[in-house]
Every structure is written in C-alpha cells, then in structure tokens.
Chains A and B, each alone.
Chain A
Amino acid sequence: MTIQIVPLGAGQDVGRSCILVTIGGKNIMLDCGMHMGFNDERRFPDFSYISKTGDFTEMLDCVIISHFHLDHCGALPFFTEMCGYDGNIYMTHPTKAICPILLEDYRKITVDKKGERNFFTSQDIKSCMKKVIAVNLHQTIMVDDDLEICAYYAGHVLGAAMFYIRVGEESLVYTGDYNMTPDRHLGSAWIDKVKPDVLITESTYATTIRDSKRSRERDFLKKVHDCVAGGGNVIIPVFALGRAQELCILIETYWDRMDLRVPIYFSAGLTEKANHFYRLFINWTNEKIKSTFVHRNMFDFKHIRAWDRAYIDNPGPMVVFATPGMLHSGTSLELFKKWAPDPKNMVIMPGFCVAGTIGSRVLAGEKHIKTDSFTTIDVNLQVKNLSFSAHADAKGIMQLIRQCDAKNVVLVHGEKSSMGFLKSRIMTEFGIPCFDPANGTTVSIETSHVIPIEMSASLLKQHLIRQTETQDPGMTTSSSPEHSSSDDNSEQSDIKTPAEIRPSDKVLIQGMLVMDDGKPIRLEDADEVLEKVGMANHKVRFEVRKAYNATALRRAVEDAESNELQQGSTSMDTDKDESQAGDLYQEWDSDRFALKLVHIALQRSIGKQIKVVRELEDDSIEIRSVKIRAPTDKDEFERGGLLVGWDYRDEDLATRVLSIVTLALSANR
C-alpha cells in the first residue's frame, strides 16, 4: 500500500499551507491556507491540481484545518464558496470560533482598504463556517466507515491541533504548527505513541535551537523598558490572537512588578472579544491558567487598554500591540510608517515574516522601504527581532518524531535551505526516511500493512500454558492469576488474557488460519478446525530401527566411567542411576544403556524446551508422540538397535530427535 503526499503550498516554503494526502484510497486536504505576501492568484493554493473540472467535493473525502492562522485557513472560504467544495471540514472548537474573525479582519483590509474585488465576502465566511464540524481533542471521529481522525493538542495558538489520520492499518500525523515547550498561556504539544507511517511536520525553525525561554523574556522586557524610559514608542506587530495574549500577560506582570505607568494599548478592537474567547476556552490554555481561573482570570488585563486612532499623535512614550503581525497592512503598518523615522522608537518584530511583506523587509535590515510608487519609509527606529512565535525548534521536532514513533517524516512549512539540514539529521538520528517535497511534487511512501485477524482465545491460552511450563522461571510470562482460583470456578470461559503478557514478552504461536469469504480471518487450533469442517486427519506412524555398535559404545562408556571415577563425580545424578552403575559390568544390557545415553543427550539439548518423559519400567523415552524403546519381540531383537517411532504430525520433532539419537549413539563422541 502507498501513501501519497503532495504539498500544494508550504512545500519548501512558509505560508499558504495546503497539503494533499492520499491514504488508503482516501483523499484528504490538510489545511487550506493563504500566502499573505502576495496579492495575486499566488495568494491561494493551486486547487486545479486536485481537479481541473472543479468537482472537489467528489475528489476529496475531507478537509482538516489545524489552527486559525490565515496561512493555514485563509483560503477556506475561497475553496468552499468560490470553488464549490461542499464536503466535510474539520477543526477544533476554538479554531472554528476564532477563524472567522481573522478571516473577516483580513477581508476588510483587502477589500475595504485596498479595494480589491474577486475576494470572498462576509457572507461567504459565514456560510463557509457553517459547514465546519468542530472536534474535541482525543475524540475519534469517523469521517466515513474507514477514515478516522483524531486531534491532539499542539500548543502554538489557542485551539491549534495536530491530526492523526487512519485508514485501515495505515496512518499519518499532520502537525500543523506546534510547539514543544509550554509558554505563558498554552501548554506544549503532545501526542500518543501512535506510530504513524508518515509524520508530516512543520519545520519553521528547522535550524534554530532557541535559547532559554526565560532569558528571551527578560531580554524582551528590558528592551521595551529601555525604549520607553528613553521616551520612545514601542510598536509590537502581532496577530490579534495567540502570541499577543502571551506578550500581554508578560508585559502586564512586568508593569505590575515595576510599577510602570507608561500606557499600553492593544489595537484592532479585538482585545475584549479575543480575551472573552480565551475565557470561554480556558480548557485549551495551560494547566496553570486553568487551575486558577476560578479566582483570577489571566485574561482580565489591568494595564492594557484599547487603542484609539486618536492616540497616534499623543506625545508618548507608549507601547502598542498592533495588528497585523507582518506589517503588511492595517494599524501596525500605519504606526510603523509614522514611527519608523525616529531612532528613539522601536519595533519588536515577530520571529518570522512571510517573504514579500514589509515585515520581512524590515527583518532583512532594509533602510528604505518602498511600499508603493509614491511612498518610501525611512527605517531609522530600532528593529528588534524576537522569535517568540510558538513553533517547535529542531530539538522539538526531533522530540515529536520520537514521541509518536514515526516511520517516515515529511517536512513542510519551512525554508528549503534549513530543511535540508534537519532532514539529514532525522535520517541519521532515527534511521528513517525523510522527505521535503516542493509544491506540486508527490512523495510516495510504501507502507507495510498488517492484517487484522481474530485469534482463538483458547489457542492463546494453550500456548501461554505451554510457554509457562517449558520455559525457565525467569522467562515465564504469566503472573499468578490470584483471583482466578477462588472466586471463579464456575466460569467456563476462564481464559488467560493478554493482561498477563508483559509488553516485552513474546509468545510463540502455532495454528491454522481460516479464511472464509466475508468472515473475519481467524486463527484457530489446527485440529479443531479440521474437525469442525469434517476433514479426516489421517494418522501415519513411522517406526524405524536405529542401529548402533554396542561394543564400541561399551568401550567408550568404560573409558568415560573411569574418567568420572577419577574426578569423583558422576554425570548420572539420580540415586537410581548410581546404584545401577554398580551392576553395569555384571549384566550389561546395551539397549538399556543406550536408552540412558539417549535420554541424557535429549535432556541436554531440548529438555528445556519440551517435556522429555522417561518410563522407569523399561527405560523407554517419550517426547509427545515420539517414542524411543528397546526391542520387545523376537523379530526386533534379532535385528538389533533401538526403535524410534512417531506420528507423522511430529515429523519435525522426530527429525530433530533422530539426529540427537544418532549423535548420542555414535561411539566416537
């Protein structure tokens, strides 16, 4: 079986996440993002790749959105309302709640301010969101009879999720954006050991190993404090939700502690609403906030007030959180234009900006930025780059691969150059294949699949008992089932359960697979099966004569005996053996002696794995149906040798026994 992965966006690139996956015959779109650095058709993924005729609903089994950032969900209204996709869309509750707000925000800037047409409308956003099915973490959703999805906590932003996708025995994990270290308001990403065939992970910070969170925070606060102390204004471009809340909590506590009076504003008017979302979705924040919310809600800020455009001419100093985060439009751009020329001021850039945005040019250190043919911004203010953005760094990515125990890794949502480094590191450290496909390039991954079968519980029990009986005590698997004996005699189905098998144990199983069309494949006891279907099991018994040289054997034994006498020890350790040893020279019975030798040899070689029974009366040996005996009737006696008989069903055992017997009876040991 094959899993196919094609990035339509975010292949060797950041922004416009959209990955097409085919698994077990199901087509799934992972994220449906837009690229904020473009104003033309490159803004949206190339959906014509999925279908030239636009029958997206038939082509796709579902769309999964990982979180509310526009580079992950920005193209969704376009895809559903303008391209006509009408199938299932899944996202978490907070994503469903917040996503339309950001979409509407963006739409306003694009359409209302820039006057673009051919863009989705408010109504489009609303009808798009109506089609969304909200999911809970860890809840298994059956998209159809075969396709199952399950969300895991990803940190990053409120409601961000990683998705586990399974069809039959093939599985895949898509991370979206995630972070592996908890921050001030979110916990860290976590996933079960789901052992996916493929892990598709973001790699925004593929080469960075970020320094400690604490020192970055101290650094950030000091810069802000220094700037306002010197009379400068600080602009912090942010998205309304996510990183903004973390920085607000950080600054709020700092202002409180240092007793600062410098005003802090938050633009976009979203503050109240955004914080209300955080209050209602407090379950999605970290443990600390969750456990204290009843007494003090972290999202009720004292120092942070709503921004009003009129404040732009206030003398300052002030700190302004302004949206959007990449300086590509809106309040943040307006403030930046105004404050950029003054070196007293400061802009604190997020760790990453999409190529093509003003933010990315500021980060690149450009001093004169032409925003359009009429305007050039002189960038004199201090530019500080703080990678607060909650993405996993290389260490975090490695950690997640280990946590879920992936068999293959596909890197997306990262710069090509840095992905290469991570890729080779993953391959050497885990010894698993790793891919970084470009947009429109297909990666095919072969999966070895397993077949679900039903195994007879009595067959398992039979083998468990066998293993317990024959193995060394140290290797035995079952704990003593204390509660089985006393209170459960009445129960017929008193079968050992796998609860008694430890994960490290291995139980050797033999049986018969029964394959009947339309019924589950079953593993049964072979005899029972054949009996059930009424098929005669014919018994074939072999009995062969095993000749040996009695004289040579006797001589060899005498030599050995004398050796043993000198050493003062005996290899035959039972009393009976010793008492008989005295008689040996008077009444030499070569057959009996041969049997004794054979018995010792068998005990030594296979006695630990299988029960070797010795009949005291005639010294004959039995191992299951294999029987080794001395001649009994005249005919046999005349021919000489030992007789070895067995049922053909034990042919393999008999072959092994015969070779041991041969060795034991050969005189020149």
Chain B
Amino acid sequence: MRLTSLLPDGEPNCLVFKVRQMLIMLDCGLGQEQLYAMPVREGGLTEDHKDNSHNATTAGSTADNTTAGSKRKLQETDIRQDWASFLKASSSQFPTKKMARGSNSQTSHTSKTASATTETTSSGPTSTADGTIQGGNSNIPSKSMATREYMFKLPDFSGVDLKAIDVVLISNYNHILALPYLTEYTDFQGRIFATEPTIEFGRQLMIEFVTFFGTSVASSPHEIIDRKELVARAGAGLYPAYTHADIKACIDKIQPVRFREHISLFGSLKLTAHSAGYCLGSSNWLIQIGTENIAYVSSSSTQGNLHPDLFDGTLLENASTVVATDLCPRGSFTYNTGVNLVCQSIASTIARKGNVLIPCTISGFLFDLLEDVHLHLNRMGLIGQVQYSFISPVANTALQYSNILAEWMAPRKQEMVYIPEAPLLHGILLDKEKGIAKHYKSVHGAFSSDLKLPCIVFGGHPSLRSGPMVNLLHMWGNKPTNTIVFIEPRMDVVAAMEPYENLAIAQQAVQLDIRLSIDQLVEVMNKYRHPRHILVPMRAIASTLPDGTVELADVKRTISTSSTRWSAYKVGEPVQLGMGSLYESVLLSEELAKSILPQAFGSVSFAPIAGSLSIYNNQMQLKPASVQGRQLLSLYTQRLLLGVMNLPHLLSGLTAIGVTNMDVSESEGKESKEDKETGVPEIKVEFELHGQAATIILREKETIVKCDDTIRSLLREPILKCFQSF
C-alpha cells in the first residue's frame, strides 16, 4: 500500500492510494491558494455584459464614484478603467503571504469586536502598498496577463499513471474542482463514485468556477491544452478553466451512490460511503480490498446541531488503516463559538443601516448559519427591515435543491418532511409572497431594481477575485457602516482583501470551521477500535521524534503506540503503508465444499482442495472445475505425505503383499565422492517381486523406490500406509 498527496496541506484533497494493483484516487480538488495571486475581475463580465439595466438605486451607495453621472454605461466603463490599474496592482504575488496567514488566524481568533477586525488588514508583516505595484507577477505568464485570462495549476498528476486509475472517490463538493481536467483532458478511464448531493453541489461549484474564472476569449481550452503536456507538466504547467460542456461530460461520468450502499468491483474491491457529517452528502469512504479495510476520512464533523446527516463512525470499526485529511487548523472558530459573533456583527451592521457582504458558496453550514442569523435578527427586532440576497449563477438551484435532500439530513431535520415542511429555513424565507429572501444569477439585472436596503448578500467567490462580491465591494466598499463578514474556513482573509486594502468597509473575520480538529480526530480514533495505522496531514503533527515517529499536535501530544501507529504525509512524497492483507475473500460453493475430505491435526483440520475460481456477481467464487479443468488440475495435483518412515511398518506391509526374501542393509552415511545424497545414513531394502528386482532406500526425510514399472502399483500401498497422506 502506498499513499501520495498531490496537493499541499491546507488545500483541497487530491491523493492517490495504491493498494495491491488497485490505483484509487481519493478526491480531485483544485488548489485554491493560487487564486489570491490572480487579478481581480468583476463577476459576470462575460455573459451579462449586454445587460445594462443597472438603475439608479445603486447610485447612492456607490460612494467611491466621484460623480454620480446619469449615463450608467459610460460610468461603468470609467469604473472599469479605474479598476484596470487596480487589477494590475492586485495581480502581484504575495511573497510573505504564509506568514500573514498565520498571524491572521490568530488575529481573527482574538478579535471579538468589530473594531478589532480592522487590524486584520493592517496586521501582519506584509506591506504590499509600494513595492509590488510595479512588480508584476512572475507566476502568471505574460500572455495571460495580456488577455487577463485566469490560468490554473492542477494537482501534480505528473507522477501518476492516470490511465491506470481504477476508481476515483469524491468525499464532498470541496474536493471536486479538478475532476473535469482529469476526465476530459487526460486518458483517465476509471470509474468515479460520489453521493448524489456531492455530485449536484460539485456541479454547482464547477459552474461557479467557470462563470467566475472561465475563459473570456472565444477559444476553447481544448485547443490550448495539450493532453500529453498536461499529464507530463501537471506539476508546473498552468491551464485555463474548463468549459460548461466539460462539466456536463464530467458529471455524467460520476456514478451516484448513497450512504452505506455497497459497491463491489473487480471481484475483490468493495467501496462504501459513510456519512461524514460535514455537509449534505459528505462522505467518508471505506475501502475493502480482500480482507483489508482502509478508511478514508475526509472533511468530517462531529458537531451535533447542524443540518447534515450525522458523522457515521462505523467505518472505523474494522479499519486497519485510516487516511485522515482536511483537518481543521488549530485555533479556528468552531461553529458554536463563532456563530454568535457572526450574528452580532450582522445585526449591528443592519442596525446602523449598513449592508452586509458575506463571501461564500451557497452550500454547507451556510444553511445552518442562515437559520441562526434569521433567528437572531428576529430577536433583535430587525427582521422587518432586512432583505437576504443570494447571488450566484447557481443560487436558485442550490437553495431549492438543498431542501429536497431531507434523507441526507440529521434526524431533527428529517422529521420536518413528515409534517410536511421544508427542512431548511430558507425554503420559507424564499417564499415569493413573503419576499424576505431573493436569489439572483448576478449583480446585473433584477438585483439592483429589487434592492431594498439594508441588505445581506451571500455569494461568491470567497477569494474576492471574481464574482458579484467584486462589484459589491466596489459599490459599498467605501462606507464604513457596511461590513464584510468572512465565514468560509478555507480562505485566506488577508490575501483575499489585499486588493481592497484602502476600502473603508468594516471587516469581520469569523471563519467557522466545523471540520474535525486533531484533538477530535484522536478522540474519534480512540472511540472506535484502534486502527493499526493512521495517516494525518503534516500540519497535524507537532514534531518528528529522533526515531522517526511523530508526535501529534493535539493537546495530549499523542504518539504512536505498539498497537496504533501515527504518521504524516506530505505533498508529493509517497508514504509506504506496509504489506496490507494477504488474503482475498472468496465464496466456496457448497458442492465443492461437500467433496473435500478434512483431516484433523489437533484442533486444526486440513483438506486439500482443487476447483475453478471465477468472478460471479463481483464476488470470487470457488466451484468444482469442469471435466476439462479437472484433467488439467490432475497434472498439477500435489500429493502430500506426512509423518516419518517406519521400517518395521514397511517390512510388514511388504510381507503382506507377498514379498518374501528381503535383504535389509544399513549404511552409516560415509562421505561419498560422486553423490552427495548418499552422505546421509540410510537403510536399503532389496527384494524381488513377481521376478522383478526392487530396492527401497530409507533416509530421514525421504524414501526412494526403484523398481520395474510392472510392480510399481503393488509397492505403492505398503509405502503409503506408513504415512498420513493427502
């Protein structure tokens, strides 16, 4: 067994797992860090360009417009030109981002008040103001700069024989974005499994990705991307986003599964998705190969009060190896510790008639957050004044679809459909008559005409490099009464806000993280029978001890024990996981079982068996061989004799078949010249039977019979009688 991670720690998952001859890809995420190094583009530029129906409602709030001109179109182009210089500045690389990131998480952790959040932008050692503006970016080819094309670095496929991948398992929508590259641009031909919600939310995320970051020039990425090059240079090359057609083709290749549905493949591989408790349809996978059980634990949550179906730990019960990924970094907000902060921040902004921007994808714990925010605003008496807007090309689909997934929800939510009632609150908020919540494809069109202030806007992209949030920051960013609230756990707030650092908008970073922390992981592992070997990402370990074992970064500083080994994996560095099980599960047919003759040796019985193995219904079965097969088998039959040769036994046996004059001689095993075998002590029995001379030589571990063919069958019996034979 061997595990290789193709994306760095902290990024979405993409791992390749090899067990025996089976090659399994665990998730196929796209690195998100790279987005921060990219230029800003306004959302929906490509499609909605023609839609000029921006009307006057926005004018009041676009505070950074020096002149509130009446010709919207002209003004827009002006803004864009301003923006162009801005884009240049923002396209620079952030060399010290890592450090900034570290300090960011601490800052956000300690900043409990809205005023403290302004530190977020100013804190950290990064000062990008002067130097980087002229700098340009070394990471992005100049060609793409010219066309302002987004180019992406893929997971490092270079060391993987993509054609040989048997199966891809997707755990949830966060780890699926690179899948169309794999299915549409390489010679991959394996099978892909994911739960139904994962497929649908994954599809939605891909559509957002293409809408926000897709190619704005007419050429198809298929013309640009050379398959061979993609595979060979996947580690280093940069590629444009895929297309809508690719998404459809890719999604069609995924086979939907449900939790605890057993999938059997190739006769010895069994796959089962178990609820991970992280989002609708989020799954951990039990991989059973032969008699070996491997658990792939991806984004999981044991947080009890959320809407997704609960974490199902039963996959750990028999798992000998666990691959744990996507853990929550230390010092993150849990949902419970952060939710009040988010609610308060929103409420105080609404109270001062400010607007709230929440950059996020419309999925996951957002559905819980919506309920909590709504209840909070209701308690504060602010509900009558507020409007929720969801802006995303998939907003409507995401909101409606989530509400028909009761079967994938926690029992508390499942109960709702028996009333019958929409299980998620936004189903009620979106009710047309009430009009509390609305959804839009983009900021253009109906959004501005519908707009009632104050407003809470949910939408992408969390990186703030494209999508409606770019326009909205532009509109509302200069007013300090407005607030932008960061809730997405995977994003880098400092890096995301880098292009907007002069904006006056209040910032609140409360990145809610419901994923398992390393402490929770240790707890979960202790709860179920200890797996023999648990693999965790590098950042989950505190140190590597001199003997090569690791010390985990949990509170107890857990280390490996004789029964459980912990180790860490790192991007691009394969980890060997030992031999694995050496057994396959096979079904023995009753017919064949009846024909065997077991012999007992103490408590154990043995029975030689021969049959024909075939795969039937994805399960290996051993049955009696055909006539032809039996003939062939007889050529290979191996007979066994157990025991020690006993001379008196042999002699009496020979007497019984009519041998009379036996000449028994003993030799001491002197050093022989030619034949070294005679070097051992031996007994020689010579006699005649039916006029044919015969010799039997007895040695400690072997017996040699020399005779004529005609009497062979007669001699066999007395010899075999001395042993236990199979």
A: residues with CB less than 8 A from B are 93, 96-97, 100, 129, 134, 136-141, 150, 169, 193-195, 273, 276-277, 279-283, 293-294, 448-458, 460, 463, 466, 481-484, 486-488, 490-503, 505-517, 520-523, 526-527, 529-530, 533, 535-547, 606, 609-610, 644, 648-653, 656, 658
Contact = CB atoms under 8 A, between A and B. Distances in A.
Instruction: Report the 4 A-B pairs with minimum CB-CB distance, sorted nearest first.
Output: A498-B267, A539-B702, A483-B164, A499-B266
A138 B607 contact: no
A640 to B, nearest CB: 11
Given A194-B617, A512-B726, 13 more contacts: A93-B406, A134-B414, A273-B420, A454-B585, A483-B23, A508-B613, A512-B608, A539-B702, A539-B703, A542-B705, A542-B707, A544-B712, A648-B639
B539 interface: no
A651 B639 contact: yes
Given A139-B258, A493-B20, A536-B642, A546 B709 contact: yes
A510 B642 contact: no
20 contacts: A136-B259, A280-B423, A281-B404, A283-B196, A448-B590, A451-B593, A454-B290, A457-B581, A457-B584, A460-B613, A491-B2, A495-B582, A497-B289, A506-B625, A507-B614, A512-B606, A540-B703, A543-B706, A544-B708, A547-B708
Contact of A503 (B18, B579, B615): B615
Interface stretch (B241-249, B346-354, B628-636): B628-636
B24 to A, nearest CB: 11
B107 interface: no
Contact of A538 (B406, B616, B703): B703
Contact of B268 (A450, A498, A523, A546): A498
A387 to B, nearest CB: 30
Contacts of A490: 576
B683 to A, nearest CB: 14
Contacts of B588: 450-453, 521, 523
B638 A510 contact: yes
Contacts of B621: 450
A607 to B, nearest CB: 11
Contact of B607 (A498, A512, A547, A656): A512
A486 B644 CA distance: 47
Contacts of A450: 587-590, 621
Given A455-B583, A533-B601, A497 B609 contact: no
Interface in B565-594: 576, 579-591, 593
Interface residues of B, number: 109
Interface in B27-83: none
Given A507-B612, A538-B702, A138 B719 contact: no
A150 B261 CA distance: 8
B339 to A, nearest CB: 27
B702 A510 contact: no
Interface string B291-302: 100000000000
Given A93-B406, A495-B21, A649-B638, A509 B610 contact: yes
A610 B161 contact: no
B167 to A, nearest CB: 10
B258 A137 contact: yes
Interface stretch (B136-144, B147-155, B393-401): B393-401
B146 interface: no
A417 B589 CA distance: 38
Contact of B705 (A482, A523, A543): A543
A544 B709 contact: yes
Given A509-B613, A533-B604, A138 B21 contact: no
Given A136-B258, A454-B583, A93 B401 contact: no
B701 A539 contact: yes
Nearest to A662: B709
Given A137-B258, A457-B290, A656 B635 contact: yes
A511 B609 contact: yes
B186 to A, nearest CB: 14
Nearest to A505: B614
Contacts of B528: none
Nearest to B165: A483
Contacts of B612: 506-509
Given A493-B20, A497-B21, A523-B622, A510 B161 contact: no
A449 B604 CA distance: 23
B22 A499 contact: yes
B628 to A, nearest CB: 10
A520 B404 CA distance: 44
A508 B584 contact: no
Contact of A497 (B262, B268, B622): B268
Contacts of B589: 448, 450
B362 to A, nearest CB: 13
B545 interface: no
B637 A510 contact: yes
Nearest to B711: A544
A537 B641 contact: yes
Contacts of A658: 709
A633 B589 CA distance: 52
B260 interface: yes
A412 to B, nearest CB: 26
Contact of A508 (B268, B414, B601, B632): B632
A574 to B, nearest CB: 25
Interface in B695-726: 701-709, 712, 719, 723, 726
B708 A538 contact: no
A456 B583 contact: yes
B406 A280 contact: yes
Contact of B580 (A150, A279, A493, A506): A493
Contact of A280 (B2, B396, B417, B704): B417
B620 interface: yes
A137 B582 CA distance: 34
B400 A283 contact: no
A128 to B, nearest CB: 13
Contacts of B608: 510-513, 526
A649 B260 CA distance: 48
B708 A493 contact: no
B585 A452 contact: yes
B471 to A, nearest CB: 25
Contacts of B604: 514-516, 533
A454 B615 CA distance: 15
A515 B596 CA distance: 12
A498 B166 CA distance: 13
Contact of B638 (A486, A539, A544, A650): A650
A608 B456 CA distance: 78
A35 B181 CA distance: 58
B397 to A, nearest CB: 5
Name, among A129, A150, A450, A502, the residue most crowded by chain B CB atoms within 10 Å (CB to CB): A450
Contacts of A656: 634-635
B414 A609 contact: no
B642 A535 contact: yes
A523 B621 CA distance: 12
A606 B20 contact: no
A280 B723 contact: no
